[in-house]
Amino acid sequence: MVGVKPVFWTASLEELKREFDSAGLPAYRAQQVWQWVWQKGIAQPTQMTDLPQSLRQKLEAEWRFPLPRLLHRRSSQDGTQKLLWELPEGGSVESVWIPQRQRFTLCVSSQMGCSFNCRFCATGQMGLERQLKGYEILLQVYGAKFLLGLPITHIVFMGMGEPLLNYSAVMEALTGLTQRMGFSARRITISTVGIPKGIERLAERPERFELAFSLHSAIPEKRQALIPTAAHISLESLRAALAYYCQKRRDWITLEYVLLANINDGPEDVAALRDFVAPPLAAKVNLIEYNPTPGLPFRPSPRLKEFQRALLRRGLIATIRYSRGRDIAAGCGQLARQLVS
């Protein structure tokens, strides 16, 4: 093979079968390799013991099977684990594994850093270092599952980065998660701070992924102060894109709302949220307990329950997401590759 060897993670089963066919190998051999890699979690051809030696050598010679390297792993008192991965294309990102009774969620990063600069978020203070390749997003799940043996039932794109600003790589990762690793689309949540075109494109996908939109305030000036980079994207255009998503998918979305003391937790904020969640938008509200970040001036609101009750009284569906992994800086908005908590 001439030039750089292709990365195995980007190949589909059909492509692999075609490669094998042109090399005079039967299709079932491609299937065997596929099972080793995607079902048994073995990515070293030398360990694919039921393949002929010549085929193992051929795989080694013609494909690359790069894996992420675990640089750091910290466990929280509540069982949450923060994983720092060195990625094949260079640099590192964090993923967070969150066990909760029978549910095991892996929160993955879609970019190295983030360009959005949400004022309350540690990742936003890093800026954007680079886009991740689709397979590097996928490998965070593959690594947690097969290299570390962690059970995973749900995946959320809520780690570092804005997934819809790395659209094609995220779509490639979603294809890998559903078609190769066997995750149901309903168990995968894509969380966005709001890219109208990306939301509309996502609505066209055949799979039914869960969509979460980070609203944080339904009052335009307040939202703009919290997410200055989103100033050029109006709340109306976002609401229209979200409504399109709901109508197209006949589905509900989730509005994420991090509750900050004396910033977005007053009666006027409840009223604005009530107005925002009106048909054709079908949305439930998820109130997030804020995780304080050193150097940032925000505090968690003591009105979390009260705010929830006010929304419920106005007929909204409102839940609370309490912080997980805060003691190891693995909570929402805390990912900034700190090695110690």
230 touches ligand SF4 (CB under 6 A): no
Identify which range of 44-52, 109-117, 268-276, 291-299 contacts ligand SF4 by CB under 6 A: 109-117
Work out how close the CB of 288 gets to ligand SF4 at its nearest, in angstroms, rounded to a whole number.
Answer: 10
CA distances from 112 to 31, 37, 52, 101, 128 (A): 34, 26, 40, 30, 6
For residue 335, give Cα distances in angstroms to 86, 229, 276.
15, 19, 29
36 or 298: CB nearest ligand SF4: 298
Could you say whether residue 33 binds ligand SF4 (CB under 6 A)? no
**Please, which residue, 63 or 166, has the CB nearer to ligand SF4?**
166
Closest approach of Cβ 337 to ligand SF4, in Å?
A: 13
Contacts of 122 (CB under 8 A, 6+ apart): 293, 296, 329, 333, 334, 335, 336
CB closer to ligand SF4 out of 33 and 195: 195
**43 sits near ligand SF4 (criterion: CB under 6 A):** no
Site size toward ligand SF4, by CB under 6 A: 12
Q: Which range, of 19-27, 116-124, 141-149, 293-301, touches ligand SF4 by CB under 6 A?
A: 116-124
Among 112, 118, 199, 235, binds ligand SF4 (CB under 6 A): 118
Any catalytic annotation for residue 118?
A: no
Return d(Cα 160, Cα 89) in angstroms, integer. 17
User: What's the CA angle centered on 299, arms 294 and 302, to 5 degrees?
Assistant: 150
Interface positions, 319-338, toward ligand SF4 (CB under 6 A): 333
Of 107, 121, 246, 332, catalytic: 332
- Under the binding rule (CB under 6 A), the answer on residue 143 touching ligand SF4 is no
Binding residue for ligand SF4, selected from 114, 137, 218, 263, defined by CB under 6 A: 114
* CB closer to ligand SF4, 325 vs 333: 333
Q: Does 255 bind ligand SF4 (CB under 6 A)?
A: no
Q: Looking at this protein, which amino acid is placed at residue 37?
A: V
> Which listed residue (94, 162, 172, 210) is catalytic?
94
Query: In the stretch 190-209, what mask flags binding to ligand SF4 with x, by CB under 6 A?
Result: ---x----------------
Query: Exactly one of 141, 144, 160, 170 binds ligand SF4 (CB under 6 A); which one?
Result: 160
178 CB burial (10 A radius; 0-12, 13-18, 19+): middle
Which of 45, 68, 143, 161 lies at the binding interface for ligand SF4 (CB under 6 A)?
161
Closer by beta carbon to ligand SF4, 160 or else 273: 160
**Could you tell me which of 212, 219, 209, 334 has the C-alpha nearest to residue 275?**
219
User: Could you confirm whether 246 is annotated as catalytic?
Assistant: no
Nearer to ligand SF4, 81 or 291 (CB): 291
Residues found near ligand SF4 in the complex (CB under 6 A)? 114, 116-118, 121, 123-124, 160-162, 193, 333
Q: What are the residue numbers of the active site?
A: 94, 332
